[in-house]
């Protein structure tokens, strides 16, 4: 018998910077000119951001002598599909994009997921830069390299880990953000306090009104703190084999609620519901104190988030969807609980 070994031991540095500030427009262009990530840039966005920022951003890049094109898809989670990836890739090919080029994700979390996945598989991988325009994307989806699309039976079931080359966060993008989108992001922000940093949780309790008032100092702090916490967790476990799983607190139930609602319930709203439900399960099993569970529920209420499963969805329906989740192992579902605020652990049910 002949044995041939293909030696592929390697060391890869996928480190990147998250740049947080205000009025990043001109600075981003300067960075792109200074450090070229591609000969030309495919700006991926959705139909809403296309009108608000996309066209302006494309024209600014072109005016600076940077080659680029804008590719937009209809906004909404229902368009986060393999079919959409195929359409965007085909459009890029028609514009002669190749392995020397780069993708820019300009938009919220759905845009970031689609653009990141597209970059990961286009020509077997080209660079991607994340420019999140929603608070939720700034504190969550633009960081960590999770990319992918949904299937009818579940969320984010097709995807890869693919880290961006850079993340640019411009707080000014939040000036026109609707209140419901602030609430949508607050579920993820509160989650960081619940699973990792009790002091941050307390800060959120004391400053919730200033967040809705869009106080720039407060917004800057909560974005920076959220990015730091997620960054630390990802450094320890890039591909969710261990500690990174704690970032899924509230998500297993939340994703099932999203799916059953056909994504009419926003991601953060669903995660808030999931956090409260898993807390109730943990309290009933003696794994969490009721005072901490009540405190989390109260903060979610202050953040104008729902805290109960909609009456039209039954627990058996939710369980059926959860069994299709990526976190199911040997017929059991992995849940993240908080024994106390600031700490998290995994349990199987």
- Catalytic residue IDs: 124, 146, 188, 230, 240, 244, 248, 251, 255, 267
Query: What is the Cα–Cα distance from 42 to 88, expressed in whole angstroms?
Result: 10
* Cα torsion through 62, 103, 246, 215, rounded to 10: 10
CA 326 to chain centre: 16
Give the angle subtended at the CA of 132 by the CAs of 251 and 14, to the nearest 5°.
Answer: 80
Smallest CA-to-CA distance from 168 within 12, 15, 16 is with 16
**b/e for 289-318, b at 16 or more Cβ within 10 A?**
beebbebbbebbebbbbbbebeeebeeeeb
Listed residue (149, 62, 75, 66) closest to 106, CA to CA: 75
The pairing of beta strand 345-348 with beta strand 166-170: unpaired
Return all residues near 297 (Cβ < 8 A) that are at least 6 apart: 276, 279, 307
Bridge partners (DSSP) of residue 337 are: 345
């Amino acid at each position: 018998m002949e044995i041939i070994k293909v030696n592929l031991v390697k060391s890869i540095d996928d480190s990147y910077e998250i740049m947080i500030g205000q009025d990043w427009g001109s600075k981003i262009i300067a960075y792109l000119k200074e450090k070229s990530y591609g000969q030309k840039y495919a700006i991926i966005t959705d139909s809403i951001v296309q009108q608000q920022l996309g066209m302006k951003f494309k024209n600014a890049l072109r005016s600076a002598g940077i080659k680029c094109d804008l590719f937009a898809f209809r906004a909404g989670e229902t368009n986060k599909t393999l079919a959409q990836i195929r359409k965007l890739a085909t459009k890029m090919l028609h514009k002669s994009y190749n392995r020397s080029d780069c993708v820019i994700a300009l938009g919220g979390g759905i845009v970031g997921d689609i653009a990141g996945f597209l970059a990961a598989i286009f020509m077997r991988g080209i660079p991607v830069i994340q420019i999140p325009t929603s608070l939720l994307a700034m504190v969550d989806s633009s960081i960590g390299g999770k990319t992918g699309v949904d299937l009818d039976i579940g969320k984010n079931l097709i995807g890869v880990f693919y880290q961006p080359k850079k993340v640019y966060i411009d707080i000014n993008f939040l000036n026109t953000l609707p209140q419901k989108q602030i609430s949508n992001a607050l579920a993820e922000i509160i989650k960081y306090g619940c699973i990792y940093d009790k002091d941050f949780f307390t800060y959120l309790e004391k400053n919730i009104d200033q967040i809705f008032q869009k106080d720039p100092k407060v917004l800057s702090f909560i974005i920076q703190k959220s990015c730091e916490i997620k960054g630390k967790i990802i450094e320890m476990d890039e591909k969710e084999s261990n500690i990174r799983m704690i970032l899924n607190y509230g998500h297993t139930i939340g994703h099932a609620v999203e799916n059953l609602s056909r994504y009419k319930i926003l991601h953060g709203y669903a995660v808030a519901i999931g956090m409260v439900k898993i807390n109730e399960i943990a309290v009933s099993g003696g794994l969490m104190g009721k005072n901490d569970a009540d405190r989390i529920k109260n903060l979610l209420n202050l953040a104008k988030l729902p805290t109960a499963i909609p009456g039209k969805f039954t627990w058996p329906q939710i369980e059926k969807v959860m069994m299709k989740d990526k976190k199911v192992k040997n017929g059991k579902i992995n849940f993240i609980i908080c024994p106390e605020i600031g700490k998290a652990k995994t349990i199987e049910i």
